[in-house]
Every structure is written in structure tokens, then in C-alpha cells.
Amino acid sequence: GAGVSQSPSNKVTEKGKDVELRCDPISGHTALYWYRQSLGQGLEFLIYFQGNSAPDKSGLPSDRFSAERTGGSVSTLTIQRTQQEDSAVYLCASSLTWTSLYEQYFGPGTRLTVT
Amino acid sequence: DQQVKQNSPSLSVQEGRISILNCDYTNSMFDYFLWYKKYPAEGPTFLISISSIKDKNEDGRFTVFLNKSAKHLSLHIVPSQPGDSAVYFCAASTGSYIPTFGRGTSLIVHP
């Protein structure tokens, strides 16, 4: 299909290791968002990319988290030195432009488990 | 501090009856409200929204009501169907900024 895809769907890692999560947005969507959902919590905003503008990193919980978006398309969320509290479902969403902020299309998520 | 609260983690309803999902918010600057539906192993999908200039928005079986003075909104599903069983997230935003999400309410519609 032409929806947002994320990989891997599941990731189990040991505490202290680095992980990379990938998001392929819908073709033509210039805005891309990362959220995470911890157990029993709502969706927590992490970072937002719009075109070639500097990303809005205001939601990143610590400097262990970073994200990049290459060529205005695929995005990678990197978590360094993972901790058990990083365990969550990481969701990526895209929208046509920032003005259609409300029409976000979400991917299925990556379930990260840190042991 | 949770700015968007969904105080009922779960709701069980009989098929054909009305489902009412509630959401409260604390930030009076919020002016746009959304509901998303999420099935297991899938990402949330946008369901319905309402601007603060309205108090009701209807789309088929789904109606969202907004009570600004009470800082409360609700989603009504009539009639409820088993396929409506999902987690429903309420979200609110200020202007066009990133919405703040609640923790979700799991709706189960029994046949």
C-alpha cells in the first residue's frame, strides 16, 4: 500500500545498546512526526520535520534521542545507550504539509523493548 | 501534568446502543480538538475533529460535542457496531501546533 511504513515492527535490545528506527512517509508528504506511546500513556510528541526547515525537537526526552530525515523523505530515529524506560511503541506519522497538521497518517509503529 | 485527560480507560457497550467517550482538558488555549481511533498493531487513524467555534460536529454515526465552559468534549457513536471496538484517543491543539493526546479509552462493543 501507499501508507506510512515503519521498520522493524518489533525490536528487543539490551540496556545500553543503540537502536535505529526507520520511517517511510507517504510519498509527497513534506511533514513527518515521531511520537511514542509508553504503556498506559497517551501519544507523546518527540520531533517534527517540515520540508527543509530545522526540525522541532522540543519533545525529545533526552540527548540520547536524535532523528534525521534524509532527502526530505525517509526518517531515522536513533536512541543511544537505551534504558528500560525507553521501552514503548514508537509511532511515525506524515502529513501533506504543516498546514494540514491535523490530517496525520500514522504508521503501525515499532515496539521497542529494552531488557 | 496531563493537559488532556481521558479518565475512563475502558468502556463496554452492547451492539446497537450508544457509546459515549469523554475527554477533559485543562488548557483554555486549546482551540482544535480531534479524535483518533486505533486498532491493535496499527497506527491511529483520524476520526473526527471540532473547532472551538463550534459545539457540535457530526459525521455519520460519529458526533463530537464540545463544551468550552466545562473544558469537556465527548464522542458519541450511534449505533455502536462490533467493528468500532478499538482504542479512542482524544487530542487537542493550539493553533496549528502539535496536538496533545490523552491516554486513550478502550471501547469494546459486544455483539
CATH number, domain with residue B27: 2.60.40.10
Using a CB-CB distance cutoff of 8 angstroms, which residues of chain B are in contact with residue A1? Answer: none
The per-residue pLDDT for range B13-33, each reduced to its tens digit, is: 999 999 999 999 999 999 999
Interface touch A43/B34, C-beta < 8 Å: no
**Which A positions 76-95 lie with beta carbon below 8 A of chain B?**
91, 93
Whole-angstrom distance between the N-terminal and C-terminal Cα of chain A? Answer: 33
Looking at CA atoms only, how far is residue A69 from chain B in angstroms?
Answer: 18
**Euclidean distance between CA atoms B12 and B40, whole angstroms:** 17
Side-chain half-sphere of A4: how many Cα atoms within 13 Å? 31
Q: Are B89 and B45 in contact (CB under 8 A)?
A: no
- Say whether residue A101 is in contact with chain B using an 8 A CB cutoff: yes
Interface touch B99/A102, C-beta < 8 Å: yes
Interface touch A101/B104, C-beta < 8 Å: no
Looking at CA atoms only, how far is residue B9 from chain A in angstroms?
Answer: 9
Domains, chain A, ordered by start: 20-96 (2.60.40.10)
Looking at CA atoms only, how far is residue A87 from chain B in angstroms?
Answer: 16
Q: Which range marks the domain in which residue B86 is found?
A: 4-110
Name the nearest CA neighbour of B47 among B28, B12, B21, B15: B21
Radius of gyration of chain A (CA): 13
**Euclidean distance between CA atoms A67 and A78, whole angstroms:** 6
Mean pLDDT value across residues A89-115: 87
Q: Are B110 and B52 in contact (CB under 8 A)?
A: no
Using a CB-CB distance cutoff of 8 angstroms, which residues of chain B are in contact with residue A93? Answer: 43
Cβ atoms < 10 Å from Cβ of A48? 23
The per-residue pLDDT for range A22-66, each reduced to its tens digit, is: 999 999 898 999 999 998 888 899 999 988 888 889 899 999 999
Residue of A nearest to B39 (CA): A108
Q: Are A115 and A63 in contact (CB under 8 A)?
A: no
Q: How confident is the model at residue B99, as a pLDDT?
A: 87
The per-residue pLDDT for range B32-91, each reduced to its tens digit, is: 999 999 999 899 999 999 999 999 999 999 999 999 999 999 999 999 999 999 999 999
Q: With cut-offs at 50, 70 and 90, classify the pLDDT of residue B2.
A: confident
Domain count, chain B: 1
